[in-house]
Amino acid sequence: MARTAVLGLPRVGPDRELKQALEACWAGRAGEAELLETAAGLRAAAWRRAEAAGIDVIPSGDFSLYDHVLDAAWAVDAIPERFGGPGAEGLGAYFAMARGTDDARPLGMTKWLDTNYHHLVPELADGQAFRARPEHWVAQLEQARGLGIPTRPVILGPFSLVRLAKGLSRPLEALESLVPVYADLLAALAVAGASEVQLDEPCLALDPAARELDAALEALEALAGPRAPAVCLATYFAPLDDVAIEGLAALPLGELHLDLVRGPGQLVPALRELADGEARLSLGVIDGRNVWAADLDDALARIDSATAALGSERVTVATSCSLLHVPYEAARETGIPEEVRGWLAFAAERLGELRVLAEAVEHPGRRDELLSESRARLASRRASAHANDPAVRARAGAITDADHDRAAHVEERRRAQRARLGLPELPTTTIGSFPQTDEIRAARRDLRAGRLEPAAYQRFLEERVAEVVAAQERLGLDVLVHGEPERNDMVEYFGQQLRGFTFSEHGWVQSYGSRCVKPPILHGDVSRPAPMTVPWWRYAQSLTVRPMKAMLTGPVTILQWSFVRDDLPRRETCRQIALAIQDEVLDLERAGAAIVQVDEAALREGLPLRRAEQDDYLRWAVDCFRLTTAPVRDETQVHTHMCYSDFNGIMDHIARLDADVLSIEASRSGMGVLDAFAEVDYPGEVGPGVYDIHSPRVPSADEIERLLELAEERIGRDRLWVNPDCGLKTRGWSEAEAALANMVEAAGRRRARTPAAA
């Protein structure tokens, strides 16, 4: 019979227990023993939940104290010298790689392919020696066995580890060096009792060149040998092409997993190539990336095709990817409208969907009974007023090409804006948020609990805004922000004021390390009933004569960082959001805002993994950004911000945003990201981040000045702004003020140098 499998489970805890344990350990309020005890308890609870749901293949080793890519680098002893080098031991070295120290910058961080999860970037070197350190997986395998639960260890594969790393000029040589080390890892797991191991190779879907694919297949063939447990090769987030499927099907794998949510077209060639073999085919038919209850009839149609071709004993019914990306349990969300809650499936409900599918395969005569609830959900959603607003559809349908264009060229706008603003060269600013202190979070909790009256909460927030404005004036910043104390999250804050969104109370997912987010649930057509930020901007601007930036989140980022409806094309939903944000931009301009920042932190993140799909996405995504800002006057300066910036190959699209000022993350790359601006004659102004806000370390004025010098060489002082990499909400006030003071000092030093002498 067909078996069920989960590729990975959530790990932060239903109530963010891992976050709390990590931060207590880092702050010295608890020891490592308490952290490890919490982690063990969370793993045990997750395994028991999957076992109770009847899941046949339960993962282990996917649980991480910080990041699974970091775990893979640690497991092959790829530890840079600044953290102790190869052989370093202990959580101190492990967390130093993730968070840095006073003397050592952390590993770089970027998005996990096209998700909103962030992974650390391994640093490898040509000719580097590796060795196997399997303790992470062996310990979790043994813990689960002690509970009477057999599990399948999950390891990031060697091809993806090399592909995601930096520092290699000959990555395929490093892959060759890693193969015997991975063989040792698998052998150690076999000795520890693992009968199967899941090797995750999502990078096989990233259009590998023929030489890369051949090297990856050769490596995987070597690993699927007699010393190893059966290898389940897992790919996800994008479809494999026919050549890759053919190559993988020829390997002695125990199982091949395909993401049929993102790539349903893979099924036919996979069945053809696997028909005469013995390997199982794992069908990723339950979406691990989104929260909408599955169309089980559609999933069963794919399962039926597979069982007809291979036999049910060679079929696994699985999630498309790890459930790391979804919250724990929708049934807890009593604050969501009952009808909408019925459309949702978080991790617990995903396990239930797998069980129903397995029963439907086993008992075809009971399918109508088993699928009746699923069918009723889908019918309710299609007809519901919660999902459909004819007025919004009509407005979006009336958009023309001209609605995306500003009236004047960027050079003409620059002259008008400089005359209005009167800023010095190398103007200093921040990205938007200031520290979200314990006091702010406590006030927000008290408001929700009814312990603080709304009027008192308003006064409290106004005091915080006044403090932020005064601090910026004291520091000498040129363009100020209000600090965003009223915003719990840069997407949730706006979603709460837009129609078409709903919000969970417990829907936390991991973003990186101890950082968790609670994505809005975008279930219907989007519109803006009333101004969202104008009163806060007016109040903040009344406190200063310096320009006050108005801060908005852009349509692509709101789309990308929400759980987006799957019953409408994403571009259509994004266009609806763009029109709602456009309404806010125009209201801010009418209120007197001279600078409006529309953040698109997730523009690059949303890029499809397959190159053939990227231009189409970038066209409509950039058009949606342009739609938000096109109607403003020439003298209104439009800023946008992007973090984790990798613009190689897409600079034409970045230029087409037509923003007046683009601020980007640049410090971890030592301004190397600016090399991409040489690809095009970039017309706008640029604010490359001069220090990393994800680390607690405070850079010196000398360090920042060196970065500014590098930026001037690439961009030119006349078009350069000075700002941190990102917002400051996760930092403490002492760190933020010290770093900003050094930033302002460094900018002043550069101004004192004439460009010729610089």
CA dist., res. 279 & res. 393, Å (int): 47
Sequence-separated (6 or more) residues with CB below 8 Å from residue 162: 124, 168, 171, 172, 174, 175, 178
Cα–Cα distance for residue pair 119/510, rounded to 1 Å = 11
Query: Nearest CA to 142 among 31, 11, 35, 40?
Result: 40
Dist. CA 307–CA 302, nearest whole Å: 9
Q: Which helix (H) or strand (E) holds 270?
A: helix 267-274
Assign residue 237 a region: left if phi > 0, alpha if psi is -120 to 50, beta otherwise? left
Single-letter amino acid, residue 754: T
Residue 325 is a catalytic residue = no
Angle formed by the axes of helices 32-52 and 347-362, to 10°? 30
Whole-angstrom CA distances from 427 to 389, 397, 423, 687, 744 are 44, 40, 6, 9, 9
For 689, the token pair is 């981040």
Label the pairing between strands 118-120 and 230-234: unpaired
Q: How far is CA 77 from the centre of its chain?
A: 26
Integer angstrom CA distances of residue 469 from 217, 220, 472, 545, 723? 57, 57, 5, 11, 16
> Catalytic residue among 119, 257, 386, 694, which?
694
How far CA 646 is from CA of 222, 651, 669, in Å, comes to: 34, 9, 10
Q: Return d(Cα 359, Cα 143) in angstroms, integer.
A: 30
CA triplet 705, 708, 712: central angle to 5 degrees? 140
CA atoms within 13 A on the CB side of 512: 21
Angle of helix 17-26 relative to helix 32-52, nearest 10 degrees, comes to 170
End-to-end CA distance of the chain: 72
State how beta strands 196-200 and 152-156 pair. Answer: parallel
Beta strands in 676-730 (DSSP E): 685-688
Closest CA to 502 of 691, 638, 338: 338
CA 114 to chain centre: 7
The answer to whether residues 129 and 109 touch, using CB atoms and an 8 Å cutoff, is: no
Rounded alpha-carbon distances, angstroms, from residue 101 to 83, 90, 108: 9, 15, 14
Q: Determine how β-strand 499-502 pairs with β-strand 509-512.
A: unpaired
**Residue 309 burial (CB count, 10 A):** 17
Residue ranges with strand state E in 550-649:
550-553, 563-564, 595-599, 637-642
Q: How far is CA 395 from CA 46, 172, 526, 558, in A?
A: 46, 52, 11, 19
d(CA 269, CA 243): 10
Pairing type for strands 315-319 and 280-286 reads parallel
Fill in the amino acid letter for 541.
Answer: Q
Separation between Cα atoms, residue 137 and residue 347, nearest integer Å: 23
What's the CA angle centered on 319, arms 183 and 559, to 5 degrees? Answer: 115
Residues involved in catalysis: 694
